[in-house]
Amino acid sequence: MKPKRSTLATPKQRRSTWIIRCSAVLALHVGAGLAGIVPRAAAQSESQPWRGIVKSLDTASLSSDLMAQIAVVAVREGDRFLKDALLLEFDCRRQYHELSALAATMTEAEVAVETNAQLVKSGASNRNDVAIAEARRAKASAEWAAQQQRLTGCQIKAPFDGVVVELNANAFEVAPTNKPLMLISSVERTEIEIIVPSGLLTKLVKGTLLHFDIDETGKSYPAKVLRSAGAVDPVSQTAKIYASFDSPPAEVLPGMSGTARIEVEGGR
């Protein structure tokens, strides 16, 4: 009776099998790596999405140094206005009375100067009295001019076309001195602030085309790169670039955010 052949592989056979398997795995990884070269390069030439936000070029927080009651608030939050439109007006009747009093003081000082000048000529007064009278006249004149300038703040008018973003004033209230009464912002004069990898700054030159997809509207708008920021964040290795819409869309407001798709040759 013939002995049965052993089914266990010899050490030499196991070593040969291990070499064949390793060669197959290595060939599979090399092939996959070579196959991935083309898609990676192709992906680099495609547009890259970077997040951005729409910002207003003109923003102002309006306040007043007048301690006066608010008479008229001509706008509400969300209202749009044109340049030089009346936004807010104070009750300045007391301040105008004070201006009249200063005008009377100035007239009195004028009379004192003329009287002392006549007395000097007649020898009844000296030149020091004239000098003092002239100094008082100059002081009265300066106080009158300061009060008149202060009264120009009785009406707050729009410095540019825009919209009321925030309103902190109501009629019949006494306005707090140097506290923000309203925040206004330009709607038509806007730009896009985009954060990109710092390695792309040399490629994102002025005039580079992009499309900005705004989350709130669900639409895409063409734009162009205007400039880049003057510094790079060393931690995140990112930088800011700024772009402008080709045609400012009416439905786009400051604060809206979205994704910029920029065609970058060669990627990062």
pLDDT in tens, 93-144: 999 999 999 999 999 999 988 888 888 887 777 788 888 888 999 999 999 9
Helix segments in the chain, DSSP class H: 11-45, 93-122, 127-150
b/e 191-201 (16+ beta carbons within 10 angstroms → b): bbbbbbbbebb
Q: What is the CA angle 249-255-257, rounded to 5?
A: 80
Q: What is the pTM of this model?
A: 0.65
pLDDT digits (tens, 9 = 90+) for 14-63: 555 544 554 544 444 444 443 433 333 333 434 567 999 999 999 999 99
Do residues 219 and 213 lie in contact, with contact meaning Cβ atoms separated by under 8 Å? yes
Contacts of 77 (CB under 8 A, 6+ apart): 164, 165, 166, 167
DSSP 180-242: --EEEE-SSSEEEEEEEEGGGTTTS-TT-EEEEEETTT--EEEEEEEEEEEEEETTTTEEEEE
pLDDT of 265 strictly over 90: no
Least confident of 173-182, 215-224, 258-267: 258-267
